[in-house]
Each structure stands twice: as C-alpha cells, then as structure tokens.
Amino acid sequence: MKRQPQIILIAATLGFSWLAMQAVHELGHVAAAVVSGGRVVRVVLHPATISFTQLAANPRPLFVAWMGPIVGVALPVLILIAARALHWRGWYLIQFFAGYCLIANGAYLSFGALGHVGDAGDLLRLGAPVWLLWMFGVVTIPVGLCLWNGLGPYFGLGANSGQVDRAAAFVMVTCFVLVATVELVFSSFAISP
C-alpha cells in the first residue's frame, strides 16, 4: 500500500508519455504538410496502435517526413524550457516527457533505418542518407538519457523509498486518462479537404 502512489505515478507517466509522444510527432507531420501545401486525409492516434498521418497530396515529402521527429523532440524540449523558467512545480514530469520524446524519436529513426521501417524507411526512400538518421539518434538518445538522469527520487526511487508527490500522481493519471479518452474517441479522424 505504501508504494501504490509511486506505482500509479510511474505507470501513468509512462502511459501518458507514449500517447503524447505520438501525438506531438504526428503534429509535426501535419503542420509540415499544411505549410508545404500538402493535404492531410487522416491522422490515426489510438492507444493500441502506432500513430500515422495519411496524406492525399504531399509536394514536399522529405520535409514532411523529417518534421515528425524534429517537432517530436523540439516541442517537448521547448515546453520543458518554459516549465523550468517559470518554476512549475511538476517540472520533472515535463522533463521526463521531453527525455522520453528524445529517446523514442531518436530510436525510431536510428533503429528504423536498419529495417527501413516507418518514417526512417520513408526518409531513406526519399533520399535521406542513412548516416543522418543514425546521427539524429546519436544526438537525441543521449540527451534524453541526460534529461532522465537524477529524476529517480521524484518517482520514489533510490533514497526516497517509494515516497512521491500524490498530487503529481493524480495529475499524471488525469492526463493519461484524458489523452487516452480523446484518442479512443477520435482514434482515426478524417480531415476535411
């Protein structure tokens, strides 16, 4: 019973990070498609699937493919910078999320390049050099791990022996449930032309 808030905080933070990371990544693809004159047909975000964006017209496919991972790491880092500058109480939750996004997007491109999977496969087919995808991961994965370094005590690890901020656990459960619900309701939504 003593560890219940810790378990809830960790599980909700991981669940939220997975779902929100995919949403931010897809936001990058959608924004790039819109500013480059593309036409988005559908965005799939669902808790049980890997997200993707389907385009009917894509005049700048290389730009659109790159912007998913680039926005997917840049936006969370910018939010973290704001949180730290404004001294938000739960800054460490945002820092965990930013680290998660850096690691996930970096691994997605680096390891995806080995099997030509997902965006990595698209980027390679569109002419991006494989070394550039690997370098993306070489930069983002260690930065993400650095952001995670030292966060253990906030999640009840180490000397804190399971002690966490119960309000943080409540906030993360709320965020996770909210994002999961929105994704279930709008799991595959069409964009009007």
Q: What is the pLDDT of residue 159?
A: 82
Give the pairing of strands 39-44 and 188-190: antiparallel
pLDDT tens for 56-69 read 999 999 999 999 99
Q: Which two tokens stand for residue 10?
A: 């960790």
pLDDT tens for 87-132 read 999 999 999 999 999 999 999 999 999 999 999 999 999 999 999 9
Compute φ and ψ for 50, nearest 5 degrees.
Answer: -85, 135
- pLDDT band for 188, please (50, 70, 90 cuts): low
What is this structure's pTM?
A: 0.93
Q: What is the pLDDT of residue 178?
A: 96
Count the neighbouring beta carbons within 10 Å of the beta carbon of residue 122. 18
- Angle subtended at Cα 29 by Cα 26 and Cα 35, rounded to the nearest 5 degrees: 135
Mapping DSSP onto H, E and C, the string for 48-88 reads: CCCCEEEEEECCCHHHHHHHHHHHHHHHHHHHHHHHHHCCC
Contact by Cβ (8 Å): 71, 24: yes
Q: Which two tokens stand for residue 16?
A: 């939220």
Compute φ and ψ for 42, nearest 5 degrees.
Answer: -160, 145
pLDDT tens for 147-180 read 999 999 999 998 878 889 999 999 999 999 999 9
